[in-house]
Structure 1
Amino acid sequence: MHHRRLAAVAALSLALAGCGGPRYALVPAAPVTVAKGSMTVRPGIAWNRSPRGRYDVAWEENWTENGPLLDSIGFIGGLPDGQAIAKQRKKDDRKVPVFRADMSPQDLVSMLESYYRIKAGATVFAAEGVSPATFLGTPGLRFDYSYVGEDQVKRRGRAVMAVVKGKLYLVSLDGAALHYFDAALPDFTAMADGARLG
């Protein structure tokens, strides 16, 4: 009887998975390429690859463990000079600045803040700190921030980024300030520290 019940639950899960909703794909705790094969990371726990969002660019990939409203890791790999980190329309009143290979650390931070204010709906955004970091074996920067979205949930974030051969590489963690950010931070840090090109 127990096996029959498990089989029924599995069949129902598969049926529901095929119902046109967003499709998540399991990412096991093993080395994996992300963002169109531009980087390799090694998660220490299983994550779920999120379906593409309306502002996602071609160089982007996003993961979540507990659902995107609670935690998410974003990867942008090989974004070329002249492209933005979010899809935009020419007629948009407010736009995220496009990436330029010669951006200063402050320009990169401002670009990321613009994304959160314009595309992620942050009503409050605070830069918590910017510091040098090595990412993909290249000098880069680490940016810590907090924000409150339209849903009034306080979130914390960390982005680690570097410009390699004129292209932007970035990993970011966003999580609800209560529990989820801190819970995901060790695995995120290990992935960012161990990330490599290709």
Structure 2
Amino acid sequence: MKNKLLLLIGAAAIVSSPVSAHKIVEPGEPRKVAKGTFTAISGQQWNRLQQKEGKYQEVWSVDGHQLNRIAFYGAVPIDKPLIKERHKKRAPLPKVQANMLLPDIPILLERTYRTQYGIPNFEIGLQEPAKFIGQDGIRFEYSYTNPDDEVKRRGESFGALVDGELYLVTYEAPSLYYFEKEKEEFRGVVERLELRN
């Protein structure tokens, strides 16, 4: 397990080395994220990754997306998935529903990961009410192991439903060392996050 994590760290360093492919998120500067649906202020420098998996998503990372990442999903409308579907007919993704409740948000994320990434073991942990972007929302924890690298990852997420649209922010990283490394920074980003009108 430790050797696999070291191999993953080395691979991520090689993949993430061309910093010019990313845009720097400077600390303390308000920034529009996820197509301008949020205003975010970071407490440290992040890289805004150019690759994203759908038009509602924006991803930040410090050490490379395999080692730590914040994903912002802004204003995902009814009948749309969180990310772009790879195989609409063979493996359709779950979609935001008009009758969704807050406890449905973790299930939507779980089903998305299981379908899109082939994650067989995705576990939802603690779920609790939380204020998010000035709204009544949900905070939840999750964990999973990607069969491609067999590294266990932990995640924490905040979500809310506003006027039929889903707003969601996730943070995830390998459970060994990396998750704790940026967890408090993520929570600070969430606390300062604002919904843009």
- Report the aligned-residue RMSD: 1.8
Residues 161-188 of structure 1 show CA distances to partners (whole Å, capped at 9, x for unaligned) of: 0011211111100101011111111111
Taking the TM superposition and a 5 Å limit, the aligned residue runs for 1:70-85 are 70-85=67-82
Deviation at 1:124, TM superposition (A): 1.6
- In the other structure, the counterpart of 2:65 is 68
The equivalent position to 1:168 in structure 2, one of 138, 147, 166, is 166
Distance 1:135 1:95, change over 3 A: same
Distance in 1 between residues matched to 2:139 and 2:112, nearest whole Å? 16
Gaps of 5+ in 2: 1-16
When normalised by structure 2's length, the TM-score is: 0.84
From the superposition, tell whether residues 195 and 153 of structure 1 become closer, same or farther in structure 2 (CA, over 3 Å). Answer: same
Amino acid at match of 1:148: T
Q: Which among 91, 115, 119 is matched to residue 116 of structure 2?
A: 119
After superposition, the Cα gap between the structure-2 partners of 1:57 and 1:165, relative to the gap in structure 1 and judged at 3 Å, is: same
Partner of 1:35: 34
Residue 134 in structure 1 maps to residue 108 in structure 2: no
Equivalent position of 1:107 in the other structure: 104
Fraction of identical pairs, as percent: 34
Alignment of 1:9-24 (within 5 A): 17=18, 23-24=21-22
The count of aligned residue pairs is 178
Range with greater deviation from structure 2 (137-146 or 116-125): 116-125
Structure 1 residues 75 and 91: alpha-carbon distance in aligned structure 2, compared to 1, 3 A threshold: closer
AA of the residue aligned to 2:123: A
- The secondary structure found in structure 1 opposite 2:69 is strand
- Pairwise CA distance, 1:92: 3.5
1:187: which partner in 2? 185
Partner SS for 1:70: coil
Scaled by the length of structure 1, the TM-score of the pair is 0.84
Letter in 1 for 2:112: Y
Q: Does the 8 A contact of 1:101 with 1:168 survive in 2?
A: no
Moved more, 21-30 or 113-122: 21-30
Displaced runs of 4+ in structure 1, greater than 3 A? 89-92
Q: What is the letter of the counterpart of residue 48 of structure 2? A: R
Amino acid paired to 2:51: R
> Residue 84 of structure 2 aligns to which amino acid in structure 1?
K
